[in-house]
A and B are shown apart, each in its own frame.
Chain A
Amino acid sequence: MAAPIDLHEVMDREREERFRTRWRVKACASTACMSAGAGATIQAVEDMVEREDMELEVQVIPTGCMGLCSAGPLMRMMRRGGDETDYQKVTPDAAKEIVRSHVLNEEPVPEHLLDTTMPFFTSQERVVLANGGVINPDRIESYVAHGGYQALEKALTSMKPKQVIEEIRRSGLRGRGGAGYPVGSKWSLLAAAGGKTKYVVANGDEGDPGAYMDRTIMEDDPHRLIEGIAIAAYATGADQAYIYVRAEYPRAIERLDRAIRVARRNRLLGRKILDTNFSLAVEVRIGAGAFVCGEETALMASIEGRRGTPQLRPPYPTEKGLWGAPTMINNVETLANVAPIIDRGGDWFASIGTEKSTGTKVFALAGDIVNTGLIEVPMGTSLREIVEEIGGGVPDGRSFKAAQTGGPSGGCIPAKFLDTPVDYESLRELGSIMGSGGLIVMDDEVRMPDVAKFFMEFSMDESCGKCTPCRAGTVQMHNLLQRITDGNGTRRDLRDLEHLCSVVRDMSLCGLGQSAPNPVISTLQYFRSEYEALIDEEEVVHA
């Protein structure tokens, strides 16, 4: 067996490498920036550095997501031991000019400057995404240089499993997959379960169409997730773990596969991790396009290679999960919080956010808003701050109408509640949910019944068909919404729709059906007049 990685030696080596050149160019190579042309930009800089013999002056480092996706490709010039200058919309030609100007003349290039003093950057607090725009996701050394795997080493060499769970409990961390279940409690359940084999599963199915934080974590900081999984397995006594990734994320699958191999080679996974008695095997499993597989019992069926239909709980997975063995499922973002908590302590984490919702939350900010991208804010930040300050408000002189959170299981929050703090309880009170963190802003041009129909179509398509209320109810609700939005609805249709909302919510087997009516309920609650206008117009026409 090879010797385990020496974290401190790697850190020293990386520090030397960092100071080797006077300039470091960090370029975002994450999915959104790549779609905006970052590949060509990075290539152009690398070619120029080679052609003009600048290798001793400049090193180019591709990084994960820097956050402001709408301004990509993004690039950062970093001077040794000194200042940083950020650039936006960096075309290949602009990139060459920027690098030349800094290296040769010590001059920034004004046209592409990115103002990092704007609230989009200053109001964020990055815990989960701390490594975004900082490390090169393809190099484990880069992760280690920024403190990576220290938490695992600390847990394995100086903490008992019980102490690890206690630290997580103190942190107040709650599940980021939607429901907000306390993570410490879930871990205790698995730790207390008997049996020889126990499983930990990372849920990377990310079904909410409008959220991509889990994808970004898996692609841009795969070792952070692996470290979190390893700590969770140590704390709970599991020796096998799966990462379930949706097939629509090929790059995440590739990155994770590679990261797992590298971690194993460095004795951070596999047998006798870091020469301790703890062993863990991690494997990636791929979905195949079924939203319901994000639900934990359906997910386990899918890992076993079966149709992903949910089961009635109890028994809960921690009693009877994969192949009948105790299993614990945590969301990817949840697990990405684990290493920082072990590193810096549960009390530190609990000091961020609100009393009941601690830590930060990552949101995918999109829709009718100036700054779109991934943001991370302390729990309890107001929607207004997110939309108006960080997001820069609604563009084109239009006005804010609603923010949608929680995707197809969530609701639409109207302008009058913009001062609501974003935490689990407040959002639920408004008839929405935190969900996985998709936050879509809609301006006054968007018709809310259309939005309700959009999500109902989603739930209808994604219903697995196992239980009747969800299978048939979503079809009926979609038909009614279709009639109403086409202007052919009647008052009776509206009444039927409301009735179906409660039937489907109360009678469905799993969370998909139970929450499918939420977008309808919340738009009816806050924007009822829009439904009525559609009906009244029609009745006038017929008269």
Chain B
Amino acid sequence: MSDTTTRAVVGVSDRQQGEHPSGDNRFDLIDKHLKRGRYAQDQLIETLHVAQDVFGYLSEDILIYVARALRLPPSMVYGVATFYQLFTFDPPGDHACTVCTGTACFVKGADDIVKGVSNAYDVPAGETSEDGSLTLKTARCLGSCGLAPVVVFDGEVLGHQNTESTLELVAAAVGGVD
């Protein structure tokens, strides 16, 4: 668990002016969102989205922080967070390769792309490589079925991909495999 998030809950005393009590100003963004939603408990999912946007993932400490702020039992917050597939509990890799495995992309061979990247970089779909350089994800239809198969690499949507073109893309950013 990262140092900064641990401090958030414990709280640190040596704070400077304008700084969040935790010493980590990223919590400010969560606080702002909470305030805008008037700490309503039904804002839980929205709040978790904001927290994940800010921190990249949801650590246990962040979940506890949100639970306290919304006065919800931590077990419930944990239950909600684990129910929804878009929430992740591990830090993401430096680069993210998302392969669409919706129906149109499936028909056009998306499975081969997933297998190709997974084998080449020894990273199962949905996980991050051991050196933390690459997260391989799958998605259910990115709404660009006309361009199938679709790959999103670091936020850029790329249509008409195949295993070779995707591996080239990954290699250019992460480095090739021996």
Query: A: which residues have CB within 8 A of B?
Result: 31-32, 34-36, 69-70, 72, 207-212, 215-216, 247-249, 285-291, 302-309, 364, 366-368, 372-373, 404, 407, 438, 440, 442, 446, 454-455, 458, 464
Residues of B within 8 A of A31 (CB): 143-144, 157
Stretch of B23-31, B104-112, B127-135 contacting A (4+ beta carbons < 8 Å): B104-112
0/1 interface trace, chain B 82-107, chain A, CB 8 Å (1 if under): 01111100000000000001111011
Closest to B52 in A: A288
Residues of A within 8 A of B48 (CB): 288
Closest to B46 in A: A286
0/1 interface trace, chain B 139-171, chain A, CB 8 Å (1 if under): 111111111101000000111000000000000
**Cβ A366 vs Cβ B49 within 8 A:** no
Contact of B178 with A by CB under 8 A:
no
Query: What are 9 sample pairs from A and B whose C-beta atoms fall under 8 A apart?
Result: A69-B145, A212-B145, A216-B143, A247-B49, A288-B45, A288-B84, A307-B79, A367-B103, A440-B103
Contact check: which of A32, A208, A309 meets B146 at CB < 8 Å?
A: A32
**Cβ B145 vs Cβ A288 within 8 A:** no
**Cβ B141 vs Cβ A307 within 8 A:** no
Residues of A within 8 A of B108 (CB): 367-368
**Cβ B49 vs Cβ A286 within 8 A:** yes
Nearest-Cβ distance from residue B29 to partner chain A, whole angstroms:
16
Contact check: which of A211, A212, A287, A407 meets B84 at CB < 8 Å?
A: A287
**Cβ A366 vs Cβ B84 within 8 A:** no
**A450 to B146 Cα, complex, angstroms:** 22
* Additional A-B contact list (14), CB under 8 Å, known A32-B147, A287-B45, A302-B45: A31-B144, A31-B157, A35-B157, A35-B159, A212-B143, A285-B46, A288-B45, A289-B85, A290-B84, A305-B80, A307-B83, A308-B84, A366-B148, A442-B107
Listed residue (B86, B144, B146, B147) with the most chain A CB atoms within 10 angstroms of its CB: B146
**Cβ B85 vs Cβ A305 within 8 A:** no
Residues of A within 8 A of B80 (CB): 305-307
Contact of B4 with A by CB under 8 A:
no
0/1 interface trace, chain B 26-69, chain A, CB 8 Å (1 if under): 00000000000000011111101100000000000000000000
**Cβ B142 vs Cβ A248 within 8 A:** yes
**A458 to B146 Cα, complex, angstroms:** 21
**Cβ A366 vs Cβ B145 within 8 A:** yes
**A210 to B143 Cα, complex, angstroms:** 7
**Cβ B83 vs Cβ A209 within 8 A:** no
Residues of A within 8 A of B102 (CB): 209-210
Closest to B146 in A: A69
**A458 to B107 Cα, complex, angstroms:** 14
**A37 to B34 Cα, complex, angstroms:** 37
Nearest-Cβ distance from residue B3 to partner chain A, whole angstroms:
27
**A307 to B46 Cα, complex, angstroms:** 13
**Cβ B107 vs Cβ A367 within 8 A:** yes
Closest to A465 in B: B83
Closest to B100 in A: A209
Closest to B152 in A: A35
**A69 to B150 Cα, complex, angstroms:** 13
Residues of A within 8 A of B76 (CB): 306
**4 closest cross-chain pairs (CB), A and B:** A69-B146, A288-B84, A209-B102, A210-B103
Closest to A442 in B: B107
Q: Given A248-B139, A286-B45, A303-B42, are A308 and B103 also a contact pair (CB < 8 Å)?
A: no
Nearest-Cβ distance from residue B39 to partner chain A, whole angstroms:
12
0/1 interface trace, chain B 113-144, chain A, CB 8 Å (1 if under): 00000000000000000000000000111111
Contact check: which of A72, A305, A372, A455 meets B145 at CB < 8 Å?
A: A372
Contact check: which of A72, A247, A309, A367 meets B86 at CB < 8 Å?
A: A247
**Cβ B104 vs Cβ A304 within 8 A:** no
Nearest-Cβ distance from residue A469 to partner chain B, whole angstroms:
20
